[in-house]
Amino acid sequence: MARRIKARLFREPPPPPPQPPRTLDQRRELMEARAVNMEREAYLQDFEDLEFEGRTLSSIFTERRWMSICEQTGLVCATLVSEFYCYFLERDKAQATYDITLREVSVTFSADKNNEFLSITRLEGPSYPDQEEEIANRLMLSNSELYKLLTEKEEVPYHLSNIPHNAMSDFFRMLHLIVAYNIDPRRRTSEASFERVKLMVYIVRGSQ
């Protein structure tokens, strides 16, 4: 038996050598080959029949002055999107401001410029991703309670690690499509971690 084990271990192929880091041209080629997902234009006013605790999506986004985020201002040019992201391959990610020139058009990107364009007042304090402890303490809801809240179901699955998109109520499914950044382009679905679920409830209820 010992000989068989040694022989089997001996026949295992060695691990592949570490690959050298990609060159800038290789990274650019990879970036240009990626698909560009274009979002379908939608209006929150079309979902006035969806309510949670007496509130609609449009009332929540209007109160927070986020309506401009949901408005589409033009068509998407896939090649221009690829050029935009390829530009950042040669830039320092730690910069606070970027001056970008694409197709003879120069644009300055910065947090202040983005807030000005979206008509959103920039917060002086930490943003939502940095307020996880505050959100968790304010909600004081267990994962089971969050599941019942988002799905409107009393039965909670065993070993609950996240909430599938299709298990949510219509209201939270629509809110999740707005909040989520990793929707599967083929299945058009995603699972929500409980950190994201807490954020969605925090968006809806605020400081209540």
64 vs 169 pLDDT, higher one: 169
Distances (CA, A) of 4 to 8, 14, 65, 166: 6, 18, 70, 50
Give residue-wise pLDDT tens across range 15-66.
777 777 777 778 778 877 777 766 666 678 888 999 999 999 999 988 888 8
Residue 12: its pLDDT value, please?
61
Q: Which two tokens stand for residue 166?
A: 């299709």
Instruction: Inform me whether the pLDDT recorded for 132 exceeds 70.
Output: no
CA dihedral of 65, 70, 75, 76, whole degrees rounded to 10: 100
Taking residues 87-104, what's their average pLDDT? 77
Position 169 pLDDT exceeds 90: yes
Mean pLDDT of 148-160: 86
Q: Give domain limits for the chain.
A: 124-207
Look at strands 51-52 and 163-164 and give their pairing: unpaired
**What is the per-residue pLDDT for 192?**
85
Q: State the pTM of this model.
A: 0.57
